Structure formats: structure tokens, C-alpha cells
Amino acid sequence: MNNDLGKLDCEAIIFDLDGTLVDTLEDIADSANQALQGLGVPTHSVQAYRLLVGGGIRRLMERALPEERRGQADIEEGVARMRAVYSQRWAQVSRPYPGIPELLDALTARGMPMGVLSNKPHDFTVEMVRTLLGRWTFAAVQGATADVPLKPNPAGALALAGALRVPAARCALLGDSDVDIQTARRAKMLALGAAWGFRGAAELRAAGADHVLDAPGALLTLFP
């Protein structure tokens, strides 16, 4: 990956949360597996969850359940069980990725407006940002709600651009999955891939990322 990316005239940045700012994989996997155990179905390895996450909690449960158990009742019960477990253990080992504190310090020093957009339920998103990223100011934080479509629908990203008071075309969106890249492109934002996250560089490139970054600090080379 090339870190000599040149300078881009962006005025704000929107971050994905899981797999971009915070490594949440183990806590998500443990919570989902407890939900699956409660339903009496097989569980998955932590690494398998790299491909199961990204579409919100309902989509996660759909993917995690065996095909013959993907009826609405089982999915709804799985979602309810996972929410109950995750609400108690979401911060057992989840922490910001190495280099993220330094990146957020540098962006704050530059006066860069920042937001967070996640497909994680909104209450969990807000609590995670407050608890694990409370040192920094995010002008807007948005998780999954009934009235905001999940990524890759661009509505949430466009709403955050409005909250940041920056035109969408002058915002960057940084995320670790094809869902994030698709969201950025649909919103006409700069699409940045976080190769340190859950999915890796190949998926981000295939999705059409404008730039794929190998470490958080590489983001700073993009801005004047």
C-alpha cells in the first residue's frame, strides 16, 4: 500500500466504529456465540466473525445461524439474546486500535471536524464512543435507529455531513469493509479503507476505495 498519497482538500472526516476506531471483534464474537448457544445451534470462531459483522446486529444473526434456522422467530430471539449479553460485556476487551489515539489527537489539533457512523445499534454506539473515545470530541455520532437506514444506504453519512456543516463532497469516510466504501461512494465522499480492520486491503480495493491505508497515521498524509 502506498502511503505517499498526496494532499486532499477535505474539511471533515466520518469514521466507522467497529474495525476502524475500535477493535471489538472478540466481544462481539463472544456475545453472539452465547446467543447461539442459547438457541442450541453451533457457534463460530472469533476469526469467522470478521466476515459475519458489518451489516448490523440482525444481519449478523442471520449470517451466524444455520440456514435451516434463519426464520424470523429464531433471528429475533437471537438478536434479543445477543443484545442482552452484549449490553453487559461489550467492553471486556474492546479497545481503540494502536495508533488511533495519536490520530485523533492530531486531527483534533488541526481542528478537523469528526463524526462516527456505525451499523451497531445507536445506544451501543453512543456508549462505546463515550466510554472508549471520550477524550475526543465527535460533532455527531450515529448508530442504527429505526429512522436511519443502515450503511451502505448513504442517508446516515449525508446526515452526518450536515451535522458537521461540511458539504458531502468535502468529507472523507474511513471504514474497514466494502459496506463503508459503498456508503462513501454513494454519498459522493472520499472513500478511505482501513486495512488494519476486520476485512483487509483486498476487499477494500475491490469495493473501489479511493485510498487504502495500512495504519491510522497514514490518514494524516492525506491532509494539508
- Note every long-range contact of 173-176, with CB atoms under 8 Å and residues 24 or more positions apart, other chains counting: 173/13, 173/14, 173/15, 173/16, 173/117, 174/13, 174/14, 174/15, 174/16, 174/20, 174/213, 174/219, 175/15, 175/16, 175/19, 175/20, 176/16, 176/18, 176/19, 176/20, 176/204
| pTM of the predicted model over 0.85 | yes
Residue 58 corresponds to which amino acid? Answer: R
Q: Which domains does the chain have, with CATH numbers?
A: 12-23+95-222 (3.40.50.1000), 25-89 (1.10.150.240)
For 162, other C-beta atoms within 10 Å of its C-beta total: 12
What does the pLDDT read at residue 7? 58
The reported pLDDT for the residue numbered 1 is 37
* The pLDDT of residue 221: 87
Q: Is the peptide bond before 216 cis (omega within 30 degrees of 0)?
A: no
Which strands sit side by side in the sheet containing 140-144, from one edge to the other? 140-144, 114-121, 12-15, 171-175, 190-194, 211-213
Percent of the chain with pLDDT over 70: 96
Give me the pLDDT at residue 222, please.
83
The model's pLDDT over 116-127, given as tens digits with 9 standing for 90+, comes to: 999 998 999 999
Per-residue confidence band for 92, with pLDDT thresholds at 50, 70 and 90: very high
Residue 73 is placed in which grid cell?
422467530
SS3 category, 211: strand
**Model confidence pLDDT, tens digit, residues 37-75:** 999 999 999 999 999 998 889 999 999 999 999 999 999
Q: What is the pLDDT of residues 94-149, one digit of tens each?
A: 999 999 999 999 999 999 999 999 999 899 999 999 999 999 999 999 999 999 99
With a cut of 80, say whether residue 224 has pLDDT above it: no
According to the model, what pLDDT value does residue 159 have?
Answer: 97
Stretch 193-205: mean pLDDT: 97
Q: SS3 for 142?
A: strand
Percent pLDDT > 90 in the chain is: 92
Res 55: pLDDT: 86
